[in-house]
Homo-oligomer: A and B are copies of this chain.
Amino acid sequence: MSGNTFGTIFQVTTFGESHGIALGAVVQGIPAGSVIDEKFIQAELDRRRPGSGIPGATPRREADKVKILSGVFGGVATGTPIALLIENTDQHSSDYDELAECFRPGHADCTYFKKYGVRDWRGGGRASGRETAARVAAGALAKLVLREYRIDVAAGVEALGGVKCAKIDFAAPQGNELNALDPEAVPAMRAAISAAAAAKDSLGGVIRCRATGVPAGLGEPVFDKLDAAVAHAVMSIGAVKGIEFGAGFGAAELRGSENNDPITPDGFASNRSGGVLGGISNGDALEFRAAVKPTPSIGIPQRTVDTGNAPREIAIGGRHDVCIAPRVVPVVEAMTAIVLADMLLLQRTRRL
């Protein structure tokens, strides 16, 4: 375990830095014979790209064209690893010259330095959100596996900068540039972003994700429970600081009689469990929420230190999103899909 490989059967290995030559993923374990829909992979990547209609969005413009290097022949997976390559094209490393000597608050600059003793400071190196492009590409392959099982994973922004969606509609995010679950919340969210941008500040948000069509029986007790594996996957996304399934933290304040989902011959009468009991999917929708912290890169001057531990003040320029929650949406979907694809394949081995 060296940190860049995830999964057991459906197994993803990623590489690449923000300002290196390329990012990529090597994906193992896609069942041979699966149709590989290249356009779908590209479309997923396109969903993650910087939003052009969003106020306060980074002006960085990466083409993010994905290239399949191996593992596909005649349009189907051959069972050998599928390598996906995304070249970096629009790098402004000079934007980051100051960062060679100085740690940005809220960023991984200082921790990478302390862990490794060296660091690629250009654009955050591997700690950049750009790393997630490889996850989305790999997640697209996972979604192709899920498609065979008629499982759908959808996510959206439930709250942004304190503005909450009044309704939850998982079809909505495709229709608005903030990936909001309630289109009526978009104007207020945009206003919040504009205000924060004007203040050279940033905002956080909450993402809700739901997977439908998940059969009962997925998840590997006791340590690799479905919710534990999804938590691992989603918490490994840079900006995510918390996750809760079903009633989540709210369950802590309920009584058992309120929180238990009654079982009926037609299924569960409610879904406060988030679709998981004892770490195994129960046949209901898998549902969870994830907290995204505000972008740490802000223009407001902040206290920090340099690599020699001398105090410094830093006002961060460069190209950053005021709120990255909308762009984290496809990443959350990708990581969830990767876990589900792996668990589906593992489950094939569990019974006689």
Distance of A341 from chain B, by nearest CB (Å): 10
Residue in A13, A76, A261, A309 with the greatest tally of chain B CB atoms within 10 Å? A13
Report how many copies the assembly holds.
4
Do the beta carbons of B254 and A223 come within 8 Å of each other?
no
Distance of A172 from chain B, by nearest CB (Å): 19
Interface string of A220-235 (1 = CB under 8 A from B): 1111110111011101
CB < 8 Å: which of B13, B131, B241, B269 contacts A246?
B241
Do the beta carbons of A111 and B223 come within 8 Å of each other?
no
Which of A38-46, A58-66, A175-183, A202-210 faces chain B?
A202-210
Query: Which residue on chain B has the smallest CB distance to residue A195?
Result: B255
A115 to B206, CA, bound (A): 32
A352 to B33, CA, bound (A): 6
A94 within 8 A of B: no
A82 to B204, CA, bound (A): 32
Do the beta carbons of A118 and B74 come within 8 Å of each other?
yes
CB < 8 Å: which of B28, B241, B252, B276 contacts A292?
B252
Do the beta carbons of A241 and B244 come within 8 Å of each other?
yes
A173 within 8 A of B: no
A53 within 8 A of B: no
Do the beta carbons of B83 and A278 come within 8 Å of each other?
no
Do the beta carbons of A255 and B352 come within 8 Å of each other?
no
A76 to B118, CA, bound (A): 8
CB < 8 Å: which of B5, B108, B126 contacts A277?
B108
A52 within 8 A of B: no
CB < 8 Å: which of B5, B6, B199, B277 contacts A106?
B277
Residues of B within 8 A of A11 (CB): 1-2, 5
Distance of A326 from chain B, by nearest CB (Å): 13
Residue in A80, A125, A269, A347 with the greatest tally of chain B CB atoms within 10 Å? A80
Query: Which residue on chain B has the smallest CB distance to residue A220?
Result: B3
Do the beta carbons of B15 and A71 come within 8 Å of each other?
yes
Residues of B within 8 A of A187 (CB): none
* A236-283, CB < 8 A from B: 236, 238, 241-265, 269, 273-274, 276-283
